[in-house]
A and B are shown apart, each in its own frame.
Chain A
Amino acid sequence: MPHSSSSVLPVGRYAYDAVDKNFLKERVAQFKEQVARRVSGALTEEEFKPLRLMNGLYLQLHAYMLRVAVPYGVLSASQLRTLAYIATRYDRGYGHFTTRQNIQFNWIKLEETPEILDILAETEMHAIQTSGNCIRNVTADQFAGAAADEVLDPRIYAEILRQWSTLHPEFTFLPRKFKIAISGSPKDRVAARFHDIGLMARQGEHGRPVFEVYVGGGLGRTPVVGSKLRDDLPEEDLIAYLEAILRVYNAFGRRDNIYKARIKILVQALGVDKFLEHVNAEFAAMDRAKYRLPDTLVEAIRARFGHPAFEPAGDAAQQLAQHRLADSAFSRWVDTNTHPHKQPGYIAVTVSCKPAGGIPGDVTSEQMTVLADLADTFSFGELRVTHLQNVVLGHVRQDKLYQVWQTLEQNGLGTANIGFITDIIACPGLDYCALANARSIPIAQKLSERFASATLQKEIGALRLNISGCINACGHHHAGHIGILGVDKRGQEAFQITLGGASDQDVVSIGQILGSALSEDETVDAVARIVDVYLARREPGEQFIQTCRRLGTAPFKDAAYAIA
């Protein structure tokens, strides 16, 4: 297996010290013992289940699935090589990037899991709290530390929250799972208001950040847009305030019905004002000094993050312009798959993991190795997994971009479709998942083929298409401009269409169901007709979601059910 011997701090993520590494070893040893107790019968399957889930191990339809944590989505090249090795050695040669910026392996054997966790620990990785009724992987903006519009780096705080929530003694047996996202840019790229807690960081007075705190958002069976609890939470109170929210949730959240156990249901039941009263009462009663997050501590964490050593821009921008003039396919890819960088001469790249007809988020071992090599050569050894199931190379010099694209092209990773209709989010669905009602992957592949034409996609423009195989909404269908939900219709797989959801930018909304469920092929045709309505009736410069909001669902519904 691959090894990293570099003593330089890893760019974009926290570098473990000896104590952190020892902690991971202790965690693996603990899990080995738990597996042994399960095998001996000392633990029942009911008792073992939450223990294995807290180590990211699910029992799916055909095999165990292991979900590996990628804190705030950031991976070092050496870590991605380790994941490639695991995919080859212990799985079937591929992995699947998830909407929580993690990666999961679908064909894992229980008895090999402790060994895999050992290997992960070697490169400072683990599967801790990627499942279970605890605080899950904290997600952050995929352009953190790179985006031109960034106010501050959210990853420092995501790391602080990751550490604080790790084996938290009070919050490891919550009513239900708990998801936190944090953005350091005024433009919300983390869907903060669709999280149990969403944090929007901005610069406060005296040079220290403050946080807007949203609570009770989420998708699933009951999609809810989160409510704002605080506008200006000081940095030093971040941990204390989150403790207060979690305590109220742990004490009062419902435990009699798992479908009503998320914090959003509690916030709705109490009303946000009453909920806030409870949180404020708890916060006021707390020993704030004990839970204080001093700026020295924040800076100590920041000091363990590596930073890219940027070079002067030189003529990088001019070279990129020349490359674009010379190659129109490259130029189209630059249009869709790059994001402005705050450093002159650099650019952030989103590598699409959604080729025409492919499985959204699936990447082979070979592709992982290619991406790791590209990161080492062109992006300071750092990559990010996005919550839209793509991979970001955060810091590419503009004059090297053409080379990066050529390598991506040669390896099936050069699809120019970021933000377009084929940049589909899809959950694993009934092909793997024990909860699913319908297969998400085949319909995603059909839609991806249907709209594969580069010209057509560009004509359609920004359109988010999200697919979930069941009401649990892992594919975030409610947040899609067009959402597709797999249902069971009298024993047959069928699909409902939702319209008008959005989780980005200024307006957050939940998609509305258009009508009764259709078959897979009917759904693909209905989506095509919905898109035709948009193309026919849009006003100049209007994006799909804007046309939906202006016209309402009626004309789209008529089109969707016109022939079917």
Chain B
Amino acid sequence: MPLLENGQLKEEIWQVAIEGEALPEGNVLVPLARLPEALGRNSDGALGVLLAPDEDVEALRIALPRLTAVQLTFPIFRDGRAFTQARALREHLHFKGVIRAAGHILPDQYEFLLRCGVTEVVVPEKTDVSVWERAHKAFTVAYQPSILNEAPEGVALRRYLSR
């Protein structure tokens, strides 16, 4: 499936580890349980972790400097745990790498994802990027600080949103 990043669709560059099989060469996303195995892998490929919604980001703290990406999951769009995971990765663990969101996600959630620190969204084939762009540009201000540290605007906690 393609990825949405900065308003553009791009090709997937990651492989997801297949259960019961040896880890592949190249860039690989592994479930948390296989992180020790992946850290011991002898490969030049980049490493990322697939974090389930009920897994604590704290489990990544030690390995984080060696991770290029963390992928968070929406089992259904109503399950908003990934928002808190993304924000904690940025704010508490100071993770500077790629945070991906995958699963059942609506374009209407795009701006929220970006403001919680997600940088890439795994979207279905033939996704109409313009719908996601409109969701991103729907608002000029927000009413609370976010991990993007937008500039304050006027009274209260208002922030300018990047467009």
Residues of chain A at the chain B interface (Cβ within 8 Å): 17, 19, 22-23, 26-27, 29-30, 33-34, 37, 42-43, 47, 50-51, 133, 160, 163-174, 239, 247, 250-251, 255, 285-287, 290-291, 297, 300-301, 304
For residue A239, which residues in chain B have a CB less than 8 angstroms away from its CB? 144, 157
Find the residue from A19, A42, A285, A300 having the highest chain B CB count within 10 A: A19
How distant is B105 from chain A, measured CB to nearest CB, in Å? 10
From A17, A165, A170, A251, B155 is in contact (CB under 8 Å) with A17
1/0 per residue B44-86: CB within 8 Å of A?
Answer: 0000000000001000000000000000000001111101110
For residue B108, which residues in chain A have a CB less than 8 angstroms away from its CB? 30, 34, 51
Interface of B is mostly: loop
For residue A174, which residues in chain B have a CB less than 8 angstroms away from its CB? 80
Residue of B nearest to A168 (CB): B144
Query: Is B151 part of the contact surface with A, judged by Cβ < 8 Å?
Result: no
For residue A51, which residues in chain B have a CB less than 8 angstroms away from its CB? 106, 108
Query: Is B111 part of the contact surface with A, judged by Cβ < 8 Å?
Result: yes
How far is it, in angstroms, between the C-alpha of A162 and the C-alpha of B146 when the chains are bound? 16
With contact pairs A160-B156, A250-B80, A250-B83 given, residues A47 and B138 touching in the complex (Cβ less than 8 Å): no
For residue B109, which residues in chain A have a CB less than 8 angstroms away from its CB? 172-173
With contact pairs A19-B141, A250-B81, A250-B84 given, residues A170 and B156 touching in the complex (Cβ less than 8 Å): no
* Contact indicator B84/A170 (Cβ below 8 Å): yes
Query: Is B3 part of the contact surface with A, judged by Cβ < 8 Å?
Result: no
* Contact indicator A169/B111 (Cβ below 8 Å): yes
Query: Is B14 part of the contact surface with A, judged by Cβ < 8 Å?
Result: no
How distant is B90 from chain A, measured CB to nearest CB, in Å? 11
How far is it, in angstroms, between the C-alpha of A165 and the C-alpha of B157 when the chains are bound? 11
With contact pairs A29-B138, A170-B87 given, residues A255 and B79 touching in the complex (Cβ less than 8 Å): yes
For residue B115, which residues in chain A have a CB less than 8 angstroms away from its CB? 169
* Contact indicator B83/A163 (Cβ below 8 Å): no
* Contact indicator B155/A172 (Cβ below 8 Å): no
Q: A22-B140, A47-B77 are in contact. List 10 more A-B contacts (CB 8 A).
A: A23-B141, A37-B131, A164-B143, A164-B157, A165-B143, A165-B144, A168-B143, A169-B112, A170-B116, A172-B80
Find the residue from A165, A170, A172, A304 having the highest chain B CB count within 10 A: A170
How far is it, in angstroms, between the C-alpha of A300 and the C-alpha of B156 when the chains are bound? 7
For residue B88, which residues in chain A have a CB less than 8 angstroms away from its CB? 247
* Contact indicator B91/A167 (Cβ below 8 Å): no
Query: Is B20 part of the contact surface with A, judged by Cβ < 8 Å?
Result: no
1/0 per residue B126-163: CB within 8 Å of A?
Answer: 00000100110011111111100100011111100000
* Contact indicator A304/B80 (Cβ below 8 Å): no
How distant is A216 from chain B, measured CB to nearest CB, in Å? 18
Query: Is B34 part of the contact surface with A, judged by Cβ < 8 Å?
Result: no
How distant is A339 from chain B, measured CB to nearest CB, in Å? 30
Query: Is B92 part of the contact surface with A, judged by Cβ < 8 Å?
Result: yes
How far is it, in angstroms, between the C-alpha of A43 and the C-alpha of B80 when the chains are bound? 19
For residue B134, which residues in chain A have a CB less than 8 angstroms away from its CB? 33
For residue B87, which residues in chain A have a CB less than 8 angstroms away from its CB? 170, 247
For residue B157, which residues in chain A have a CB less than 8 angstroms away from its CB? 160, 163-164, 239, 297
The contact sample of 14 A-B pairs, CB cut-off 8 A, is A17-B154, A19-B154, A26-B140, A30-B108, A34-B108, A167-B139, A169-B112, A173-B83, A239-B144, A239-B157, A247-B87, A251-B84, A251-B85, A255-B81
With contact pairs A26-B139, A169-B112, A169-B115 given, residues A301 and B156 touching in the complex (Cβ less than 8 Å): yes
How far is it, in angstroms, between the C-alpha of A26 and the C-alpha of B59 when the chains are bound? 40
* Contact indicator A26/B80 (Cβ below 8 Å): no
How far is it, in angstroms, between the C-alpha of A65 and the C-alpha of B80 when the chains are bound? 26
* Contact indicator A169/B142 (Cβ below 8 Å): yes
With contact pairs A33-B134, A47-B106, A297-B157 given, residues A286 and B80 touching in the complex (Cβ less than 8 Å): no
* Contact indicator B138/A290 (Cβ below 8 Å): no
* Contact indicator B138/A300 (Cβ below 8 Å): no
How far is it, in angstroms, between the C-alpha of A174 and the C-alpha of B79 when the chains are bound? 7
How far is it, in angstroms, between the C-alpha of A43 and the C-alpha of B104 when the chains are bound? 13
With contact pairs A23-B139, A169-B146 given, residues A301 and B155 touching in the complex (Cβ less than 8 Å): yes
How distant is A387 from chain B, measured CB to nearest CB, in Å? 24
Find the residue from B113, B141, B145, B155 having the highest chain A CB count within 10 A: B155
